[in-house]
């Protein structure tokens, strides 16, 4: 079974990532993993921290001579900002300059709920782990899942379809998404220059007014065979697993599969993807669809169309013009804490969601096709593809 976990705090020495259950023989290129990490750091509207960090995964185990060997892969990702935090003292010292406490919780962040839960008078002990810095470790894990999927011809990408009120307003093809993801510069990771300019204007308003802005990213899985995931048990459904995986990312507040949201207000005749028998030669089967409102999943099972997952991000909660809060010390009204912050993270969250989606799909692929080596897994996958071609 493919499993992964992360450890590490935002301003601690390092993030840690651990992935187990990968078959042996997956080629692991350091440049690929680091490029994924770089992509997550990009995007218009990110704050000062991204000028400090330059993420790279230090692979400690599970890879030999550039290929996985079936044992758990352990990785560390250094926090460059750590050196700026080594002199910080506990809040009990009473020296405000030296302890940098977050003593007026930020509405929308984990500060208040976490401080109450863990009995901290300084919300920094909470935010250190609540911070989306952790998503860098997920991206390192996801890069390995992507490399496994790539060996089977399955690709995962993302693009931004909304920032604040500015939306793309049309479908994007896989080719457009892949081209956007291959760019050497990431701005708002939108496939359309005109829409991207409107999105930039939304970020500019937030930057100017001391506010923040959310949006929607779309993750697409291209080239996945039908039949992965299952309807037979609630916790093995691909839709449910994807929703949990993407929702678990910091600031994601809704997940949509295909056109799940508008489907609820439409008639069945316009929503469901009619079936024909005229698929292209390179398709998995001759069964084909003209449209993909289902987002590639029916009954919790992939149906051979692109899997489409959207994540809806709330606006960032740390505001340069802070909202009302209360001091932990005096219990008097004050402003929420502010030091520095991202203003818009939709492109970065999309990359983190790619990782979560890749890990989920890779897990289901390994569950179905098994294999201790990539060769064995690929033989099983190819054999199954042959079976459905002859259905
Ligand atoms: C890539 C990324 C970067 C983020 N950067 C910030 C930030 O700079 N400031 C902030 O307040 N929240 C930021 N967040 C959101 C918080 O981590 C998140 O709102 C917080 O942990 C509370 O969790 P919740 O929003 O899921 O409830 C970021 C989220 C992502 C995905
Ligand atoms: C460090 C990252 O994101 C951080 C996520 C984050 C938060 O509260 O989630 C707060 C900010 O951290 P800081 O307060 O140090 O500027 C972001 O920079 C990252 O994405 O690598």
Whole-number pLDDT of residue 98:
72
Whole-number pLDDT of residue 63:
98
Say if residues 13 and 67 touch (Cβ distance below 8 Å): no
131 CA from centroid of ligand 2 (Å): 6
Query: Per the structure block, which two tokens stand in for 157?
Result: 């990408």
Closest-approaching ligand to the CA atom of 343 = 1
Could you give the C-alpha distances from 33 to 6, 102, 190, in angstroms and in order? 16, 34, 22
Which residues form the pocket of ligand 1, taking CB atoms under 6 Å from any ligand atom? 47, 108-110, 130-132, 135, 249-251, 314, 316-318, 341-342, 345, 348-349, 352
Instruction: Detail the residues annotated as belonging to a binding site for NADP(+).
Output: 40, 46
Among 341, 348, 353, which residue has the most ligand 2 atoms within 8 Å of its CB, making it the best to mutate?
341
Among 10, 83, 346, which residue has the most ligand 2 atoms within 8 Å of its CB, making it the best to mutate?
10
285 CA from centroid of ligand 2 (Å): 45
Whole-number pLDDT of residue 339:
93
User: Residue 260 belongs to what H/E stretch?
Assistant: helix 260-263
ipTM of predicted complex:
0.99
Whole-number pLDDT of residue 88:
78
Strand spans (E) along 9-124: 14-20, 58-59, 63-64, 67-68, 73-78
50 CA from centroid of ligand 2 (Å): 8
If you take atom 9 of ligand 1, which residue's CA is the nearest one?
341
- Residue indicated by tokens 């294999």: 371
123 CA from centroid of ligand 2 (Å): 15
Closest-approaching ligand to the CA atom of 102 = 2
If you take atom 30 of ligand 1, which residue's CA is the nearest one?
132
133 CA from centroid of ligand 2 (Å): 5
- The radius of gyration of the chain's CA atoms, rounded to the nearest angstrom, is 22
Whole-number pLDDT of residue 375:
98
Which residues form the pocket of ligand 2, taking CB atoms under 6 Å from any ligand atom? 10, 47, 49, 53, 127, 131-133, 136, 250, 340-342
Measured distance CA(122)–CA(96) in Å, rounded: 11
Among 210, 246, 317, which residue has the most ligand 1 atoms within 8 Å of its CB, making it the best to mutate?
317
- Residue indicated by tokens 């996985």: 68
Could you give the C-alpha distances from 233 to 64, 108, 186, 261, in angstroms and in order? 37, 34, 40, 24
pTM confidence score: 0.98
Atom of ligand 1 nearest to the CA of 47: 8
Instruction: Detail the residues annotated as belonging to a binding site.
Output: 40, 46, 129-131, 250-251, 299, 314-318, 340
If you take atom 11 of ligand 2, which residue's CA is the nearest one?
341
Describe the strand order of the beta sheet including 252-257 as a list of residue ranges: 166-167, 155-163, 215-222, 307-313, 252-257
Among 105, 109, 342, which residue has the most ligand 2 atoms within 8 Å of its CB, making it the best to mutate?
342
How many folded domains does the chain comprise? 1
If you take atom 15 of ligand 2, which residue's CA is the nearest one?
49
Q: Identify the CATH number of the domain in which residue 155 sits.
A: 3.60.150.10
Q: What is the pLDDT along the chain (391 residues), one digit of tens a residue?
A: 999 999 999 999 999 999 999 999 999 999 999 999 999 999 999 999 999 999 999 999 999 999 999 999 999 999 999 999 888 777 777 676 677 889 999 999 999 999 999 999 999 999 999 999 999 999 999 999 999 999 999 999 999 999 999 999 999 999 999 999 999 999 999 999 999 999 999 999 999 999 999 999 999 999 999 999 999 999 999 999 999 999 999 999 999 999 999 999 999 999 999 999 998 999 999 999 999 999 999 999 999 999 999 999 999 999 999 999 999 999 999 999 999 999 999 999 999 999 999 999 999 999 999 999 999 999 999 999 999 999 9
Range of the domain at 190: 3-389
Cβ atoms < 10 Å from Cβ of 320:
16
């Amino acid at each position: 079974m493919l499993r992964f976990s992360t450890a590490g705090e935002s301003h601690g020495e390092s993030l840690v990532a651990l992935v187990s259950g990968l078959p042996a023989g997956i080629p692991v290129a350091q440049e690929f993993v680091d490029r994924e990490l770089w992509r997550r750091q990009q995007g218009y509207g990110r704050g000062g921290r991204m000028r400090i960090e330059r993420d790279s995964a230090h692979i400690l185990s599970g890879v030999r001579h550039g290929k996985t060997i079936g044992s758990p892969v352990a990785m560390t990702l250094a926090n460059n900002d750590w050196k700026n935090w080594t002199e910080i003292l506990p809040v009990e010292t009473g020296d405000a300059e030296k302890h940098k406490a977050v003593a007026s919780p930020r509405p929308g962040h984990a500060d208040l709920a976490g401080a109450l839960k863990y009995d901290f008078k300084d919300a920094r002990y909470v935010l250190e782990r609540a911070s989306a810095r952790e998503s860098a470790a997920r991206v390192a894990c996801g890069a390995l899942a992507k490399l496994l999927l790539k060996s089977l011809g399955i690709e995962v990408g993302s693009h931004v379809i909304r920032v604040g009120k500015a939306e793309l307003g049309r479908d994007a093809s896989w080719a457009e998404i892949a081209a956007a993801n291959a760019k050497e510069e990431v701005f708002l990771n939108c496939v359309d220059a005109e829409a991207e300019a409107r999105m930039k204007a939304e970020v500019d308003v937030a930057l100017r007014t001391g506010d923040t802005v959310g949006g929607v990213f779309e993750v697409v899985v291209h080239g996945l065979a039908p039949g992965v995931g299952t309807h037979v048990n609630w916790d093995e459904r691909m839709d449910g697993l994807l929703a949990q995986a993407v929702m678990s990312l910091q600031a994601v507040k809704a997940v949509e599969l295909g056109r799940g949201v508008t489907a609820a207000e439409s008639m069945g005749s316009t929503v469901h993807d009619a079936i024909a028998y005229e698929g292209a030669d390179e398709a998995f089967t001759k069964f084909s669809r003209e449209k993909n409102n289902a987002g590639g999943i029916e009954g919790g099972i992939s149906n051979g169309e692109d899997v489409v997952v959207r994540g809806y991000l709330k606006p960032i909660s740390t505001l340069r013009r802070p909202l009302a809060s209360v001091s932990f010390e005096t219990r008097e009204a004050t402003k929420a804490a502010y030091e520095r912050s991202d203003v818009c993270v939709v492109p970065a969250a999309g990359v983190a969601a790619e990782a979560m989606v890749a890990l989920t799909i890779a897990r289901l692929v390994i569950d179905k096709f098994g294999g201790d080596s990539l060769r064995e897994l690929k033989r099983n996958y190819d054999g199954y593809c042959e079976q459905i071609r002859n259905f």
